[in-house]
Structure 1
Amino acid sequence: MSNNLTELLGPPYDQLMDAKVDKSPSEVVITNNDGETYYIISAEEYENGPKQQGYNIVVAEGE
């Protein structure tokens, strides 16, 4: 993972519920397939970086 992606993702969450509570309606929660670390990011930023690195959306916009 590049430094730019690390900066884009921000702080990790260990619990999905914590990330769900903190995200805004215009953001998504993603994980990198391990299901142990979650990140909050805008949908547009997701499309332009983490998606190509194998991250998946686990909580969509508006949820």
Structure 2
Amino acid sequence: MSFDNSKLGLPYFSLEAAAVDKSPSEMVITDQTGENYYIVTRDVFEDGLQQNGYKVVVNEGE
């Protein structure tokens, strides 16, 4: 199953900015390049992003 990347919204180009903007129930992930960061919920991450090579860089609660 392919994930619809349009659900991600605009990327952050700074990990620090994404980490500050996320809520405690959200996580920050990065794409395969490691240059773009996105704020998502665990459900969204597990619903296709994880299988498409995205990686968690800031967990919930951090």
Q: Where do 4+ consecutive residues of structure 1 move more than 6 Å?
A: none
Alignment of 1:1-63 (within 5 A): 5-63=4-62
Give the TM-score taking structure 2 as reference length.
Answer: 0.88
Once the two structures are superposed, residues 3-61 of structure 1 have per-residue CA deviations (whole angstroms, 9 ceiling, x without a partner) of x6222111100000000011011111001132210000001110011101100000000
Report how many residues are paired: 61
SS at match of 1:17: helix
Q: Distance in 2 between matches of 1:40 and 1:5?
A: 15
Gapped regions of structure 2 (runs ≥ 5): none
SS at match of 2:4: helix
Identity %: 52
CA root-mean-square deviation: 1.3
Q: Which amino acid aligns with 1:10?
A: G
SS at match of 1:48: helix
